[in-house]
Amino acid sequence: MNQNPRFDLSFMLRHVPDFGPAILTALEVFIAALAIALVVGVVLALARVTRTQLAWLAAAYVEIFRNTPLLMQLYFIFFGLPIAGVMISPFVSGSAAIGLQHGAFFAEILRGGIAAVRRDQREGGLALGMLPSQVMRQIVLPQALRNSLPAAGNQLVLLLQDTSFVSTIGIFEITLRGQTIAERSAASFEMFVVVGAIYLLLSAILSLAARGLEFAAAYAR
């Protein structure tokens, strides 16, 4: 047990490699949750711009999922579904909870992106004899997705950081790994510096990738 009140750099560095598998686990949760969030986001955004009953359902979804804490949603799924007889793994519960909430956020981002496409773009397509669905797919959505990229990049970073919530249901990702090492060693502060640094690094890479995507998707203006 480390009794030294000083900042123990060597202890900190010695434990960095222990985080390897935890980082991989976090990335798995991130990718699974992102996939869910993107699908949910696109479906909800499209539902919201139709003028049907679906728009109300989608709006209700968005309001419920973005107005309740992620931790509560996670517990709802992880502890609630088994009561209803549905047994799912911590990984699936965690990814689903994060994906379902971030889906609501992505939906709002994309809805804004769609609203920012000028109305006369739609009319241009309709006047050529294209169906509204074809206009949406070929004219409005490609532009809306580009419009959404800056805000979506931001959301991507938030999603990555929210993977730390699955530590509460026993998934050994970065945060829980840091906690266990800290508890074993009593060098809590050092371990959370490492945890913070890992999130910072991953988020920075992600931000950079998002910027790159924005740049690649930009068309001549």
Partner 1 sequence: MISVSGLHKSYGGTSVLQGVDLAVGRGETVVIIGPSGSGKTTLLRCLNFLVEYDSGQIHVDGKLMWFKDAACSARRPIREIAADRAEIGMVFQSFNLFPHRTVLDNITMAPLTVRRGSLARPEAEREARRLLERVGLGDKASAHPATLSGGQQQRVAIARALAMNPKVMLFDEVTSALDPELVDEVLSVIRQLAEDGMTMVVVTHEIPFALDVADRVIFMDQGAVVEEGPPERVLLHPETPRLKAFLRRFIEMNRIARRMTVEIGAP
Considering only residues 121, 179, 180, 203, which one is a binding residue for partner 1 as defined by CB under 8 A? 121
Q: Which amino acid is at 125?
A: G
Alpha carbons 93 and 53: distance in angstroms, whole number? 29
Alpha carbons 124 and 138: distance in angstroms, whole number? 12
Considering only residues 4, 129, 215, 216, which one is a binding residue for partner 1 as defined by CB under 8 A? 129
- Site residues for partner 1, 43-72, by CB under 8 A, read none
Question: Per CB under 8 A, does 2 bind partner 1?
Answer: no
As to burial, measured by CB atoms within 10 angstroms (0-12 exposed, 13-18 middle, 19+ buried), residue 143 is middle
DSSP string, 161-198: HHGGGGGGGT--SHHHHHHHHHHHHS-HHHHHHHHHHH
CA 191 from chain center: how many Å? 25
Of residues 12, 62, 29, the one with CA closest to residue 202: 29
Q: Which stretch binds partner 1 (CB under 8 A): 13-21, 99-107, 139-147, 150-158?
A: 139-147
Write each residue from 146 to 185 as x if it is in contact with partner 1 (CB under 8 A), else as -, in one continuous string.
x---------------------------------------
Q: How far is CA 92 from CA 31, 68, 74, 89, 97, in A?
A: 12, 20, 11, 5, 8
Other beta carbons within 10 angstroms of residue 116's beta carbon come to 12
Question: Per CB under 8 A, does 112 bind partner 1?
Answer: no
Minimum distance from CB of 32 to partner 1 (Å)? Answer: 30
Considering only residues 31, 128, 158, 186, which one is a binding residue for partner 1 as defined by CB under 8 A? 128
User: Which is closer to partner 1, CB of 55 or CB of 126?
Assistant: 126
Minimum distance from CB of 138 to partner 1 (Å)? Answer: 6
Q: Which stretch binds partner 1 (CB under 8 A): 20-28, 98-106, 117-125, 197-205?
A: 117-125
Alpha carbons 130 and 122: distance in angstroms, whole number? 10
Q: Which stretch binds partner 1 (CB under 8 A): 3-11, 82-90, 124-132, 161-169?
A: 124-132
Question: Per CB under 8 A, does 115 bind partner 1?
Answer: no
Binding stretches for partner 1 (CB under 8 A): 120-121, 123-132, 134, 138-139, 142-143, 146, 219-221
